[in-house]
Structure 1
């Protein structure tokens, strides 16, 4: 009488799942397609072992193989799971706790803005614990060229999305410091290079600010996280502890949004 097949132990199942997810991640890293040898080298496993897992992934729809090239790629089920995960990403929800922690650490007002139909719109606000706080309200729309938040959006959004608003603000403001296109482009390049932007009294005299972008899985800017405070106690220096913490917080939220800088 044949012996029944041994049932995998829980620990073995977990290890198998870990290996399977490692191979799926490798398929994503090496997309759009890759050879078995390149995949095995990437995950540092024997090709025979990777091949066995690939067959299981193909059977479940998470991977596929091109009959002409024999290369492997992610399958339809992986796409379905990925799209479902992207659909559940809420930048406001993901930023709530980190923004609160940032406010608590420095006791300065922190807020999150997203790009709305009228520009940078405040959607999350963590006020400093002081008797007098800055007047920043939920729903406030910040200027594009006269706020750190707006300028960070301008540096990362396609020019077509900001051109009309920028032109309107330049017409409305006499002798704007960014009226010259060369100066404007230099400022945009600098913001993209540093990863954040420091402001000293640009929007309101005596108020300093630091702003950093948050990106989604597609690499598009999803929001801007900003810290603001009185210049008498808050120093918006790009090399300060506050700036580095703001930047690392924005990067953490971006990572949780699925962003990966390559």
Structure 2
């Protein structure tokens, strides 16, 4: 039993290395369970255990009746779970995104402390999320360079509404998990101006660190919105 357990854990590590090295590409199918069992000289059941572990970790995606693929990551909508977006009694809506500006800058000590990054420079992006032209969230996004160098040449209009799928498609970076920290504050002047609100209005700030397939932080995002639109729900069993 212990030998079998070590076997699938060792395979899971080997498969993770294939993803990290690029041998298994984002959104592409991995070899079949039968071929992997033959390659590694183990039972198909052991291969399935290794794949299941990586699926639980968000590295692989098992598709019922189809092949298993390398995860392309989150879709980027999860930040919106903290806010209610409704107009005229309609159901909750998905906002659009508008990049205001982007620029390169040096990595400062505070950002290095928060993320553990050791790069010399960053790409800093300001964007709004809106519904029907009304600003709802003001975001400041930090990306390490040169990992995201392809985006540094983009114009604001070139960015897609959902950033995480864009990261995977353009830069080969799949965001598979994120950690959010929520706090309440009074609206600062730059945030109030961007959101067309009054300085000092109750605000909620969500600071997020996003992680790639290797478990390394690849994005820091600070999002500010109206505290009166904030919502939180949880199920406790």
Task: Check whether TM > 0.5.
Answer: no
If you compute each CA radius of gyration, which structure gives the higher value, 1 or 2?
A: 1
Bigger relative contact order, structure 1 or 2 (CA pairs below 8 A, ≥6 apart): 2
- Please state which structure has a larger fraction of its residues in strand: 2
Give me the TM-score of the superposition, normalised by structure 2: 0.31
Give me the TM-score of the superposition, normalised by structure 1: 0.29
